[in-house]
Structure 1
Amino acid sequence: MKRPLSWSMRFALALSAVFAIGTLSAGGLSYLFLSREMSQRFLADVRSSAESLARIASTGDRTDLDEEIRAQVRSSRNGASLFAFVDAASGQTTGSLRLSAPFEGARRLLVGRDIPAGAPKQADSAEAYLAFGIRTEPGWVIAARDEAWVSENGEILVQTTASSLALAMVLSIGLALIIARRNERRIDRMDRVLDEVGAGRMHRRIGDGGNDDIADLAARVDQMLDRLETGVEAIRQVSTDVAHDLRAPLARLRMRLEPQALSGTLPADARREIGSALMDIDAISATFDAILRLARLQSGTVGRRHDPVDLV
């Protein structure tokens, strides 16, 4: 029959499950908060780039604006960042970003729909850009950045969080199982000792050397076994003393009654009564002798003798 899980093991597994749920929940919330924080910072960077171009455009100096856009385009040779200025009067676009129509505010631009696929300045792995447009008096300034940075950092965050959570769960479950197995062994020792004491080996003790609740319980059980052994020994000693002290009076009583039973002057009825009394005295003496023999055997003062016995 398969042994059911002990309370310690069930408690360890339940505690590990609660820890795993809590850890996964904390990891999920951390991922959501960090992802939102990265997205907000990403948008703030794109907006800051657009505002920097907008300040130059507001001065009305197109030369400085064109030079700044070309400098920004040169600094982003991999196409991770795109910039554009759309002239309000002519509609002409300057920069690395080509759009069908300018816009204001934040917008997500998909490659192939909002941005022509395979554009010369576009990043090869780019799938979408986060853009921010600002309307100035000369026209619109737009800055866009590849969202791959956010997704890559999100993947790194997921991998790091998942690895940390997995390690923490493995360590917590392993530690819980180790503690549970240790408690099971200690409780099994208590069971064995109690079984042995019940079988008559009164000297057995648990002797748990821990410093927790189980150790305190084991110490109290050992104290109870000490008192039990003392009580049993006292009862055994009293029985031995009573049996020993009564043997002599019974022997003297038998010596006094036996001549009366053998006397020819005594009536037959009285002789039978004395004979019955002598048989009772012999039975009591045999019982006391057996008590004394058991006491000597339990104390180990005499060796055991093995003789064949006819069970029939």
Structure 2
Amino acid sequence: MRLPEHLRSTSFRLAAVYAVLFVVSVLVIMGTTYVAATAEMQSIIRSSVTQDLDAFRAAFQTGGAVALRNSVQDRSENAADDRFYLLIGPQDAVLSGDLPRAAWIEGWADRKLSGRIVDASPDLKQAAAQNSDHEVRLFSQGEVMGGLKVMAGRNSHILDETQEIMVSALLWGGLATTLLALVGGYLVSIGPTRRVDAIAATTRHIVSGRLDLRLPVSGRRDELDRLAADINEMLARIEGLMENLKQVSTDIAHDLRTPLARLRQGLEAVRVRPSGMAALEAAIDGAVAETDAIIATFNALLRISQIEAGARRERFGPVDLSALAERLVDVYGEVAADEGHRLDAQIRPGIRVEGDADLLTQMIANLLENAINHVPAPGRITLGLGTDEGTPVLDVADDGPGIPEAERKKVFRRLYRLDRSRTTPGSGLGLALVAAIAELHGATVTALDNAPGLRMRVTFAPPIRQAPTRAPGDYETV
């Protein structure tokens, strides 16, 4: 038979294991108590019997048989209900005591007296009547002194009753502990099981295509909440990747359709209207150019995917971002001047980050090229590098037309281009590559209004080492 779901949960199994351990602990403690209490009570009874025999020996040594008889007689008459004595003469005649002759046994003995022996003694019958089972258990010591047999005993039935009570308590306590532990484990497992059921139900919806759903978090900050939070972060990442994949698929189909159509039309025109070798060579050159552009687009897409997969993270190391930015300003200063722009720099020295120098170079180069290509001449472009509360911040600002606020997040998507930019060179992958490199380095890139123009800001994680040359927090605005 299949157990209910709550009884098959990990929480209940764990509670059951602890219940078993707790029950075993209770049994060990109570068992130890049982053994110790039994030994202590037996020691008390044995000591009391030993004292009686010591007194009888002393009487016998002092006054012989007469003194021994008087001592037994005196103790028998003044003894408590649980104390019994017996003195047997040389001819097996009972000389004194309240036990029948059949009760005699030499040495130490712990036995349950038969009904015949109990019925032969009024004192034994009275003691038996006080017991729940109407029996007498005699713990005794018998010794021969001269020709006499003397024995002292105690009714140890109270020890038996105590042992029975302790065994009963042991069994009932263990049973109650087991039941309480199992019931407690069941109740404790209900909450986690319900939470796991909720997580499983949400997961099934996610598998069916609802990537916008997230696992429930109770706010208790326990292991299930931590697991749900980690999975939610993973789901957010997967949702973003899936959206990017859909967007890239659509954009590839849209953006590559035009160059492929131009390629086909050029080749078709040459095939339909052959115009000589010069026209053929021109058509071939155009086809090669279109093909190179398409290949470049796919190479850029592949590079972005590799960067997003973290393939270059093993090449990370300390990078002097200030020196790197200075070199790029030197290189692109002439490029900007050729396009009718002016490239300025406001770079604080000594700023270092952890990363891949080649990728960081490409990121800054893409930002500079993006500004040079899309800002109408003459324009002013500024590369700034400073810190904001100890965090490195890189800005590439221009005074061009800027980007509408509604479009600023979209420009980091692959193959996305503004309408006014579709006539300029490029595939719409430059800023997507910038975003991928920034994410790989734990940085964020945002498009801001430069009033007028556009400011691309890259905010890095705190640096591994900072060589301050100015007051902390003194960030140069560009």
Shift in CA distance, 246/102, structure 1 to aligned 2, threshold 3 Å: closer
Are positions 1:47 and 2:57 aligned together? no
Shift in CA distance, 85/192, structure 1 to aligned 2, threshold 3 Å: same
Any conservation in 1 of the 2:106–2:143 contact (CA below 8 Å)? yes
Residue 96 of structure 2 corresponds to which residue in structure 1?
Answer: 94
2:122 partner SS: coil
> What letter matches 2:200 in structure 1?
D
1:60 partner SS: helix
Counterparts of 2:139 and 2:225, CA distance in 1: 64
Residue 134 of structure 1 corresponds to which residue in structure 2?
Answer: 143
- After superposition, what is the alpha-carbon deviation per residue over 1:227-251, rounded to whole angstroms, capped at 9, x for unaligned? 112212323444565577689x69x
Any conservation in 1 of the 2:16–2:185 contact (CA below 8 Å)? no
Any conservation in 2 of the 1:130–1:146 contact (CA below 8 Å)? yes
Report 1:20-31 matches (<5 A).
Answer: 22=24, 26=28, 29-30=31-32
> What letter matches 1:139 in structure 2?
L
Higher share of residues assigned strand? 2
Residue 276 of structure 1 corresponds to which residue in structure 2?
Answer: none
- After superposition, what is the alpha-carbon deviation per residue over 1:245-272, rounded to whole angstroms, capped at 9, x for unaligned? 689x69x99xxx9xxxxxxxx99xxxxx
Counterparts of 1:90 and 1:69, CA distance in 2: 17
Residue 155 of structure 2 corresponds to which residue in structure 1?
Answer: 146
Are positions 1:74 and 2:78 aligned together? yes
Any conservation in 1 of the 2:34–2:166 contact (CA below 8 Å)? no
Any conservation in 1 of the 2:86–2:98 contact (CA below 8 Å)? yes
Residue 110 of structure 1 corresponds to which residue in structure 2?
Answer: 113
Residue 192 of structure 1 corresponds to which residue in structure 2?
Answer: 201
Normalised by the size of structure 1, how large is the TM-score?
A: 0.62
Any conservation in 2 of the 1:50–1:143 contact (CA below 8 Å)? yes
Residue 354 of structure 2 corresponds to which residue in structure 1?
Answer: none
Residue 162 of structure 1 corresponds to which residue in structure 2?
Answer: 171
Q: Percent identity?
A: 22
Residue 59 of structure 2 corresponds to which residue in structure 1?
Answer: 56
Shift in CA distance, 246/162, structure 1 to aligned 2, threshold 3 Å: same
Counterparts of 1:182 and 1:16, CA distance in 2: 18
Q: Please, which moves more after superposition, 79-88 or 9-18? A: 9-18
Gaps of 5+ in 2: 266-271, 274-478
Are positions 1:229 and 2:231 aligned together? no
Any conservation in 2 of the 1:126–1:147 contact (CA below 8 Å)? no
What is the Cα deviation at residue 67 of structure 1?
5.0
What is the Cα deviation at residue 104 of structure 1?
2.4
Counterparts of 1:101 and 1:172, CA distance in 2: 50
Higher share of residues assigned helix? 1
Compute the RMSD of aligned alpha carbons: 4.1
Shift in CA distance, 101/20, structure 1 to aligned 2, threshold 3 Å: closer
Counterparts of 2:141 and 2:244, CA distance in 1: 96
Any conservation in 1 of the 2:89–2:149 contact (CA below 8 Å)? yes
1:54 partner SS: helix
Counterparts of 1:162 and 1:22, CA distance in 2: 12
What is the Cα deviation at residue 50 of structure 1?
2.9
Shift in CA distance, 126/47, structure 1 to aligned 2, threshold 3 Å: farther
Aligned residues: 251
Counterparts of 1:223 and 1:148, CA distance in 2: 72
Are positions 1:177 and 2:186 aligned together? yes
Residue 306 of structure 1 corresponds to which residue in structure 2?
Answer: none
What is the Cα deviation at residue 68 of structure 1?
6.2
Any conservation in 2 of the 1:83–1:144 contact (CA below 8 Å)? yes
Normalised by the size of structure 2, how large is the TM-score?
A: 0.43
Counterparts of 1:43 and 1:210, CA distance in 2: 61
> What letter matches 2:188 in structure 1?
I
Counterparts of 2:57 and 2:219, CA distance in 1: 76
Shift in CA distance, 208/52, structure 1 to aligned 2, threshold 3 Å: farther
Gaps of 5+ in 1: 258-265, 268-312
Aligned counterpart in structure 2 of residue 37 of structure 1, from 39, 45, 67: 39
